[in-house]
Structure 1
Amino acid sequence: MSETRDAGPADAAGWAALGDRLRLAGDLAGADRAYARQLRAGVADPELVEAADALHDNRLADAQRLVGGVLQRRPADAAAVRILAEVAARIGRLPDAERLLRRCLELSPRFPGARYALALVLHRQNRPQETLREAEALLREAPAHPIYRHLKAAALVRVGDYDRAAATYAAVLADHPDQPLSWMSYGHVLRILGRQPDAVAAYRRGVELQPGLGEAWWSLANLKTVRFDEAEVAVMEAELARSDLDEDDRFHLCFALGKAHEDAGRYGPAFARYQEGNALRRARLGYDAAETTQHMRRCKALMSAGFFAAREGQGCAAPDPIFIVGLPRAGSTLIEQILSSHSQVEGTQELPDLPALALRLGGRARRASESAYPDVLAALSAAELAALGEEYLGRAKVHRKLGRPFFIDKNPTNWAHVGLIQLALPNARIIDARRHPLGCGFSAFKQHFAEGQEFSYSLADIGRYYADYVELMAHFDAVLPGRVHRVIYEEMVVNPEAQVRALLDHCGLPFEAACLRFYENDRAVRTASSEQVRQPIYTGAAEHWRHFEPWLEPLKAALGPVLETYPQAPR
């Protein structure tokens, strides 16, 4: 049992402060235990004390049972509602947690920690504007609170206000300069802003303070111009050898060491580290390749040419969005940078809104195969389809800051929702970014993604995912001819002007020379390719995967015929 159970602060405020310090230091489990002790210190009812103890020990079923009994007798007990909300949040029932926390604040507007917990639940549901409002409310009460300022900065990143986010992190670090996680978060925003030397300095300060901070090492490795010296490799190897190293730090260090060995031309050791990191990461995920295949087949069965013809003219007529779909590491950031260099187009980021709409349409299902989506699309009326399109535009509005008529959503997973795009936003443009399956697949395998892309931690999963994507896109080429414009990465590298002109034609945009000088565009870029798109096109990367070809047999086997028919027409 944690030491926080038996010794620590004497009152609820002290436990809250301890929880804040632990969260700031990255010890989220320790912070949860401290916050549970905060709840225990604030109640006298023996059942609620027992429920708080169960919460502290992560015995969530016991906590739920105990607090449920209290609420049956006293439904307006704010402390009981707060504990139940924490149980809901920990088991991932975020809408229920939000509802309970709002009820708690109705009952007790100044309940300790409830507003912060609500802000966290909103953040986890990717509702950054609401998160920001709650963070600002917290900061009005405690302007210098480091945790509240961190939350504000994270919400500012989500809405694309990177300059204010950087300033907020800098202010935290001015008051708390010895916090490695704060330096790392600051480094992330500096990288997005293109301030690479400052980002490197921030990451290096983070690993100086905490040599085992794997994410900071990986963030340095992910800055393509950074090369580790042998002393730094030795530090990472020593940290990886620790038996008490956190698993998150461990797999991040594996990816960072893979990159270090790759840069040094040690391709066998590099692949071994990449494979180790991927195995650790995949073991924690619930990805099932069969679910993706099933979704692809359901889309093909439902979305015939006749299905779309029967709904022609429906949906929201706005032409504003340009969707760039495909696989990560296929050149989508390059395409985004080219288009966002046009005077009529704004680049945003990988927006989560279309998948969120699809998830909601699917209802409460644990597995994609149990979801009502995509079949539910057949039952939607013209008014409902138009409302979906309008809702998407409303969600995306927060990211549109330049007043340009068109904006880009480059969430690659939207390839699985091309049918929804056609129904809800029939005048949106769709660009399919495609790269050689071995180059694209291995590039994804050696990249640790901050979130999503759960298919990318196994070569076999990557191959099957790529094949499913190709099959579904070929179906849309057949039933919606000309609807999707394909950009082949290798062709863009060899003949950029011709490809850029064709891309702009598809989008109905006049040619502008700035699109060929995309590397002069100083917009913020969030993805792993943020450095490359600030430089002219580099031709050497297209074939780099060949150094690792001896280890790519599982990828080749899973790709099957797709490997032999690349590139897939039409353009």
Structure 2
Amino acid sequence: MSTAPNPAERAERARTFLKTHPGNADALRALGAALRGMGEDAAAEEAELDAIRASTRDPVLIEAAAALLDNDIPVAERILRARLKEKPTDVAAIRMMAEIAGRLGRYGDAETLLRRALALAPAFVAARANLATVLHRQNRSAEAIAELDRLLEGDPENAAHRNLKAAALGRIGGYEEAIALYESVLASHPAQPRVWMSYGHVLKTVGRQADSIAAYRKALEHAPGLGEVWWSLANLKTVRFADADIAAMQAALDGGGISDDDRFHLHFALGKALEDAKEDAKDAERSFGHYLKGNALRKAMLDYDAGEVSRLVRSAAALMSEVFFAERQGAGCPAPDPIFILGMPRAGSTLIEQILSSHPMIEGTQELPDIAAMARQLGGRKTRDADSAYPACLVDLSAHALAELGAEYLERTRIHRKTGRPVFIDKMPNNWAHTGFIHLILPNAKIIDARRHPLGCCFSNFKQHFARGQAFSYDLGDVGRYYRDYVTMMAVIDGALPGRVHRVFYEDMVRSTETEVRRLLDYVGVPFDPACLRFFENDRAVRTASSEQVRQPINREGMAQWQAFEPWLEPLKTELGPVLAAYPEVPPPASLLQ
């Protein structure tokens, strides 16, 4: 009976073949695998990397690379699938297939492929760098940093790795280390406008506004047409553009040679500049024209289905009755730690967060993605077209399962808690869609609904370009429908769980700040603290679009900004329908679910 050759015999056969066929990728892969089996890791690493280099010279992979360069995903995928069927351990091909998955937003698939590549060739630096990027894009910043630290051990001066690590640190509140990394990159590579921009972002987050503006201006010295930098300046909300700035932005738009990404950012920035400078109705019309163009360009880049949110709301309304919650009373994780501030973006949630985090018992974190991620996982959808099992699947979860999910949330968010304060804030606005889920898994958590006048809130979303997410905001009809769905969902929760959610109307907070702050603190269950009225002195890091606004005393400036644009808001009014007429009254579910 024959036996398979042992690793030493396989290594010898591969070496013999390579003498007559030097640079053969298959033989080099075989040699690497054999050497791994013999425990000769250093020699195995050399063979594995030689195999990858040999593969990149293969005409088949060169053809696939050319297709990727042209962004011809179907052709590249067809070539690579055929290659991997024939040679399943071709690490270069595996990495290229991971790149395709990443471009399509299938980050889980990309991660699986990259981990396979690294299992076959642990020293494959490019694959590890790709893995760090994929983890970062999945908001798994700590894991991304771990991979980047491995890379930086071998190449401590690598600017790309340091830059990505700084970005990942910014996601989990490591702002000072992120600033130091950006500064080290810029010291050796000063002509990097996007690094200057990222540096400006983190400076803004920690409240160093003057330094942030200087960093953005430095980026524009190197790239005057970089639209995202102009928008970053506009997004500070406190910067007033000079005539020369407006002329420079218009020249960048008129000059051509810029990307659609630059173009829509420039339109948003010009819309804000002209809105701030407006002296008559003509300026408002020009401002709105830029907002309209910027939104249209951005919307065309996104695959947003407004019906998906409406279907979720209808499913929740059919499920989440008073009886449904009563049957599950006592389930979930009893920890009282989280305060969820939810609602529409641009509705005053950052103001509420800043007020609460000024209290010595409450820690502000940021907009945490975990609740939505857990809901997606429960939904089990593999493709965009597939039906989600969420929220119907909540019916089948036992009390123990709900408690485990609550504990999982606390564990996932622990990395964002930097102080010993007993209570922390999760300020993800879009969690309104999961209010019932939050109650089931964390029945003692506090839930605060930040609400603002429909026209003021929706128009503020329309003129805001968000760094990520909020795809509903780039069309007046979409944003109106989203607001209507949100109010419907909250009405469902109010009907099933009366008094569970504390609602803060932005206009009331502006007009009667102390009264509303005292109501808010009573709901949270902490004693009144005068620091909460001087929230603008709080020097905590703030990452949202309102970061500079909440560092100033409260004012009424934003309450009526939409009124100058009312002549163009008819599509929004039509979509809002009864919600607009009912504000600030909360309409019953039946009036909105018909």
Question: Fold-level match, TM-score > 0.5?
Answer: yes
* 1:35 aligned partner: none
* 2:543 aligned partner: 526
Report the alpha carbon displacement of residue 462 of structure 1 after superposing the two structures with TM. 1.2
Partner secondary structure for residue 195 of structure 2: helix
* 2:405 aligned partner: 388
* 1:242 aligned partner: 255
Partner secondary structure for residue 430 of structure 1: strand
Check 1:379–1:180 CA distance in 2 against 1; reply closer, same or farther (3 A cut): same
Distance 2:52 2:205 in 1: 38
**Match for residue 182 of structure 1 among 176, 188, 195:** 195
Check 1:458–1:344 CA distance in 2 against 1; reply closer, same or farther (3 A cut): same
Structure 2 contact 341–426 (Cα < 8 Å) conserved: yes
* 2:273 aligned partner: 260
| TM-superposition CA deviations, 1:163-217 (whole Å, max 9, x none) | 1111111111111111111111100000001000000111011111111100100
| TM-superposition CA deviations, 1:495-521 (whole Å, max 9, x none) | 111101111111111111111111111
1:119-138 to structure 2, matched below 5 A, reads 119-138=132-151
Distance 1:55 1:170 in 2: 33
Structure 2 contact 55–61 (Cα < 8 Å) conserved: no
Report the alpha carbon displacement of residue 46 of structure 1 after superposing the two structures with TM. 3.9
What percentage of residue pairs aligned between the two structures are identical? 61
CA RMSD of aligned residues (A): 1.7
Report the alpha carbon displacement of residue 39 of structure 1 after superposing the two structures with TM. 7.2
**Match for residue 512 of structure 1 among 526, 529, 541:** 529
Report the alpha carbon displacement of residue 481 of structure 1 after superposing the two structures with TM. 0.4
Structure 2 contact 456–560 (Cα < 8 Å) conserved: yes
Report the alpha carbon displacement of residue 290 of structure 1 after superposing the two structures with TM. 1.8
1:90-169 to structure 2, matched below 5 A, reads 90-169=103-182
Check 1:311–1:240 CA distance in 2 against 1; reply closer, same or farther (3 A cut): same
* 1:70 aligned partner: 83
Structure 1 contact 51–66 (Cα < 8 Å) conserved: yes
Distance 2:321 2:397 in 1: 16
1:72-91 to structure 2, matched below 5 A, reads 72-91=85-104
| TM-superposition CA deviations, 1:379-405 (whole Å, max 9, x none) | 111121111111111110000000111
Distance 2:385 2:536 in 1: 39
Report the alpha carbon displacement of residue 74 of structure 1 after superposing the two structures with TM. 3.3
Aligned length: 533
Alignment of 1:342 with 2:359, yes or no, is: yes
Distance 1:309 1:47 in 2: 62
* 2:390 aligned partner: 373
* 2:215 aligned partner: 202
Letter in 2 for 1:246: S
Report the alpha carbon displacement of residue 104 of structure 1 after superposing the two structures with TM. 1.2
* 1:362 aligned partner: 379
Structure 1 contact 326–469 (Cα < 8 Å) conserved: yes
1:221-300 to structure 2, matched below 5 A, reads 221-265=234-278, 266-300=283-317
Letter in 1 for 2:450: A
Structure 2 contact 238–549 (Cα < 8 Å) conserved: no
Alignment of 1:562 with 2:579, yes or no, is: yes
Worse overlay, 117-126 or 39-48: 39-48
Report the alpha carbon displacement of residue 351 of structure 1 after superposing the two structures with TM. 0.3
**Match for residue 551 of structure 1 among 565, 568, 571:** 568
Alignment of 1:402 with 2:415, yes or no, is: no
TM-score, normalised with respect to structure 1: 0.91
* 2:20 aligned partner: none
Partner secondary structure for residue 408 of structure 1: strand
Structure 1 contact 433–488 (Cα < 8 Å) conserved: yes
Report the alpha carbon displacement of residue 42 of structure 1 after superposing the two structures with TM. 5.0
Letter in 2 for 1:425: L
Distance 2:57 2:473 in 1: 49
Q: Any gaps of 5 or more consecutive residues in structure 1?
A: 1-37
Report the alpha carbon displacement of residue 368 of structure 1 after superposing the two structures with TM. 8.1
Letter in 1 for 2:268: F
Check 1:519–1:369 CA distance in 2 against 1; reply closer, same or farther (3 A cut): farther
Whichever of the two has the greater Rg, that structure is 2
* 1:13 aligned partner: none
Report the alpha carbon displacement of residue 92 of structure 1 after superposing the two structures with TM. 2.3
TM-score, normalised with respect to structure 2: 0.87
Report the alpha carbon displacement of residue 569 of structure 1 after superposing the two structures with TM. 4.5
Letter in 2 for 1:291: E
* 1:497 aligned partner: 514
Distance 1:273 1:565 in 2: 31
Report the alpha carbon displacement of residue 443 of structure 1 after superposing the two structures with TM. 0.9
* 1:417 aligned partner: 434
* 1:7 aligned partner: none
| TM-superposition CA deviations, 1:215-234 (whole Å, max 9, x none) | 10011111222111111111
Partner secondary structure for residue 157 of structure 2: coil
Distance 2:484 2:95 in 1: 47
* 2:25 aligned partner: none
Structure 2 contact 368–426 (Cα < 8 Å) conserved: yes
Report the alpha carbon displacement of residue 51 of structure 1 after superposing the two structures with TM. 3.2
Check 1:40–1:52 CA distance in 2 against 1; reply closer, same or farther (3 A cut): farther
Report the alpha carbon displacement of residue 115 of structure 1 after superposing the two structures with TM. 0.6
* 2:38 aligned partner: none
Distance 1:461 1:156 in 2: 33
* 1:486 aligned partner: 503
| TM-superposition CA deviations, 1:394-446 (whole Å, max 9, x none) | 11000000011111001000000001101111111000000111111111111
Report the alpha carbon displacement of residue 65 of structure 1 after superposing the two structures with TM. 3.2
Letter in 2 for 1:98: E
* 1:20 aligned partner: none
Letter in 2 for 1:487: V
Check 1:544–1:56 CA distance in 2 against 1; reply closer, same or farther (3 A cut): closer
Structure 2 contact 487–586 (Cα < 8 Å) conserved: no
